[in-house]
Structure 1
């Protein structure tokens, strides 16, 4: 599949997990891809790496401008950078709330704001935000993370409405629990990693964790000109978690 040939893409948080899987897939499908990350070293060819801190506006603007210069333009922005958090509404201190919202929500704002002047010069401009099933499903112990991702989904819809007349499509993906380094660290901190993994798998109707490559495939579709009439949507990639209510297996 080479539907992205000739297009130029930026992927934030693209050095690992969903971001890296997305950057590699976009490149395989023909795009020139720049990764913006806190630690962009060691990226596989042909990915270009640029250091950026999405919590710092000057860092973001400089990295986007440098990446666009290297790519000779910009057609696709994937806002993937983010951090996780666990805890109920009373368990996370104010400083952690500010940090997570600053990175997960304002990080999207900063990168998009820096990218829009370049996207307006594209014939096929698209923005895809990495959101989460946590935006729409009440998950225990995820109050702060869910609040940040709920904001990302609402922001996606507002951005789509603001820029549809310019031809800039804005969408998001809502992954379920994905097999990423963050989930691995979460399991490592659990007193019973095997039981925690089984619980995470069981709450997704298809009975397993989502693969990063599966989320990347959804992002690649939404970013592609093939999705030219798709904007203002959130695409679940969650094994049916958002909509299915399956009966438990009979023992």
Structure 2
């Protein structure tokens, strides 16, 4: 199936590892050129070079912290230098671990900057580029935790819920410019962070990190397994394409049956 993405330019934050990297590869396989953002220069550069060589596309690395104004401005400028972007994937983010009673203001603000303000700032800078190019797609990688929270990460839950509402609000503002905005709420996706955490939690009890992850899947997902970054990326790539042209302002759950409500 030709998704019509050849020659498009896609900006992906958190694009050097995990879900962001899988989305980058999925788009590159369809012929899209990439602008990848992440904080770690060495890995970011290596992945950009690898993807460009493998798929025959352009892949630009932008070292930046999207939780800062300077970081988002660097990405916007890089896209402008290449004629503008057609696709923006707001993917950068990370889990938290705290209680509401104990978490300081600074931690709340840091996560709000990372999960929400990064998306706001990038939309303000890149949507005008899309408008000049005749339209585009903006996708937000939120989380099932936006509607079905986990008790141990209240800040993550709240900021991902805010990102989901921002996505909906932005969609109504940009639809007139032929820019489609949608949100994806993923469930359990086997990222390197999950593996790292599982290894840390089981180090003192025999190191059965795979068994730990299986127990998490058994508890939360009807499918009894984690999804792969590639499985989630396939859905993102579809939403980037004209095959999803009537998908506007929605939130989609890709969670292996984890969501318990209708």
TM-score, reference length from structure 2: 0.87
Task: Name the structure 2 match of 1:248.
Answer: none
Distance change >3 Å, CA 224–CA 161, structure 1 → 2: same
Which of 35, 54, 68 aligns to 1:56? It is 68
Aligned to 1:144, which of 155, 165, 186?
155
Which residues in structure 2 correspond to 1:95-134 (within 5 Å)?
95-134=106-145
Determine if contact 2:84/2:126 at 8 Å carries over to the other structure: no
Alignment of 1:59-208 (within 5 A): 59-70=71-82, 72-191=83-202, 193=209, 196-202=212-218, 203-208=220-225
Shift of 1:89: 2.0
The structural deviation recorded for 1:76 is 0.5
Segments of 5+ residues of structure 1 without an aligned counterpart are 246-251
Shift of 1:69: 1.8
Native 8 Å contact 1:206 1:239 kept in 2: yes
195-204 or 123-132: bigger deviation: 195-204
Q: How many residue pairs end up in the alignment?
A: 244
Unaligned runs of 5+ in 2: 53-58
SS at match of 1:120: helix
Change (3 A) 1:120 1:88: same
Which whole-Å CA distance do the structure 2 matches of 1:95 and 1:184 have between them? 27
CA RMSD in angstroms, aligned pairs only = 1.8
Q: Distance in 2 between matches of 1:176 and 1:227?
A: 21
Residue 42 of structure 1 pairs with residue 46 of structure 2: yes
The CA deviation at 1:244 is: 6.9
The residue that corresponds to 1:249 in the other structure is none
Structure holding more helix per residue: 2
